[in-house]
Amino acid sequence: MVDWGNATSVALSGIISVFAVLAVLQIAVTVSGKVIEGMAKSQAEKQKS
Amino acid sequence: MNQLMTEIIDGLGVMHLTPGNVAMWLIAFVLFYLAIKKGVEPLLLLPIGFGVFAANFPLTGLLEEGGLFYIFYHYGIENELIPPLIFLGLGAMTDFGPVIANPKTLLLGAAAQLGVYAAFFGALFTGLFNVKEAACIGIIGGADGPTSIFLSANLAPHMMGAVSVAAYSYMALVPIIIPPIAKALTTKQERAMPMGMMRMPSKTEKIVFPVLASIVIILLVPKSAPLIAMFMVGNLFMESAVVDRLTDVARNALMNIVTILLGLGVGSTMTADSFLNSKTIGVFIMGVVAFAFATAGGVLLAKLMNLFTKNKVNPLIGAAGVSAVPMAARVVHNMGTEANPQNYLLMHAMGPNVAGVIGTAVAAGAFITAIL
């Protein structure tokens, strides 16, 4: 006999975990990309000046 | 003299051969055929097939405690050693550039995991499986062999043979499974949508990614650590370009050795008693359901994202979220080119494709956290 309540909570926690992890990673990658790009630009400007 | 003859005859393997053993040999021969003649995932299906073949000889002791296959299985798979080592090699071969260039493709990899949960519920509805077994069937939708084996070792070791063969077989069927579903859910205009040139991420971004991804993923889903940590260290080896020897070993020699041990170990679990039952048929049927819903999930989320974002994506790339790297991305690319010969979707599709690998590892970790 399947415990549907338990099964639903397993699935819900999984879906939420997958989306939460990848959404947070998306934000982290976007932010880190901008920071690294900014640092590279300011370094390039310093070298020019 | 009579007793001696009885002992000699009784010691002959042939006297203990059962119809179940012969049936499993036939299954092994099918796997040989698929691997050798059809080229279906030969690196895995050939050793798995021989594992099945050898494990079904009577009186060998291969599967008894201390036996050779027992050692492969117990120390390599049951103790969760080999799947993470495979992930080390995969990490050393994976280019996260497309994900870094277009981070929103990570969400498409997440959406493709909906197939995992659709098959999970589908398996439970059949009434044949409990929650642990249904989770192992669901993960087939992630189209990631090592993750399927990792989860089966944790939750339902008796299902490992069927789950892994289904996962690897369906991965090879990606060119047949993805196109009809992706076509049904998109218009020709959507499939023809071109995507611009992708920016090239810097070396620093590529080095930062595995560290950043480890922090985010392992902090949020700690049970995914064995797979994610090894995946990311392999990638750091490659991207840092300072440990070429380690990168080379991880993606060549080590990968090949553990693939042999994994294949034989998994194949050896497929004895007549554990494989020849109605549950195995259920695993294969639900595997297709998992793949179909995974493809649909990725495509539909891509269409949904297009409603709210400025930089639209070709919805086909969502279908590449069903891991199966890089075959799913190639299939998507071909479909895009078919709709518009000017379309070049391969690198864009690689984003959700590698995001799908991460998503499946996270889904496996989430199952372990919730069930164990």
pLDDT tens figures, B282-325: 999 999 989 999 999 999 999 999 999 888 899 999 999 988 88
Given a contact cutoff of 8 angstroms between Cβ atoms, the answer to whether B88 and B233 are in contact is yes
Q: Which are the contacts of B210, defined by CB distance < 8 A and separation ≥ 6?
A: B91, B96, B231, B232, B233, B235, B236, B239
CB contact under 8 A, A11 and B202: no
- Amino acid identity, residue B117? Y
Of the candidates A18, A26, A40, the beta carbon closest to that of B366 is on A18
Given a contact cutoff of 8 angstroms between Cβ atoms, the answer to whether B192 and B339 are in contact is yes
Q: Cα–Cα distances in Å, from B44 out to B52, B90, B254, B287?
A: 12, 15, 15, 18
Q: Which are the contacts of B310, defined by CB distance < 8 A and separation ≥ 6?
A: none
Residues in A touching B106 (Cβ below 8 Å): 22-23, 25-26, 29
Residues in A touching B104 (Cβ below 8 Å): 26
pLDDT tens figures, B212-261: 999 999 999 999 999 999 999 999 999 999 999 999 999 999 999 999 99
B174's tokens: 């990606």
Does residue A9 belong to the interface with chain B, where contact is any CB pair within 8 Å?
Answer: yes
Given a contact cutoff of 8 angstroms between Cβ atoms, the answer to whether B299 and B315 are in contact is yes
Note the pLDDT of residue B369.
95
Q: Provide, rounded to the nearest whole percent, the portion of chain B with pLDDT above 70.
A: 100
Residue for token digits 């498409």?
Answer: B108
**Residue B293 carries which DSSP code?**
H
User: Which of the residues A8, A29, A39, A41 would you substitute to probe the B interface, choosing the one with the greatest number of B C-beta atoms within 10 Å?
Assistant: A29
Residues in A touching B367 (Cβ below 8 Å): 10, 14
Q: Where are the domains of chain B?
A: 83-262+274-371
3-class DSSP state of B4: helix
Q: Which are the contacts of B47, defined by CB distance < 8 A and separation ≥ 6?
A: B259, B260, B262, B263, B264, B267
Residues in B touching A29 (Cβ below 8 Å): 99-100, 103, 106, 209, 212
Q: Is the pTM of this model over 0.90?
A: yes
**B262-283 burial string, b = 16+ CB within 10 Å, else e?**
bbbbbbbbbbbebbeeebbebb
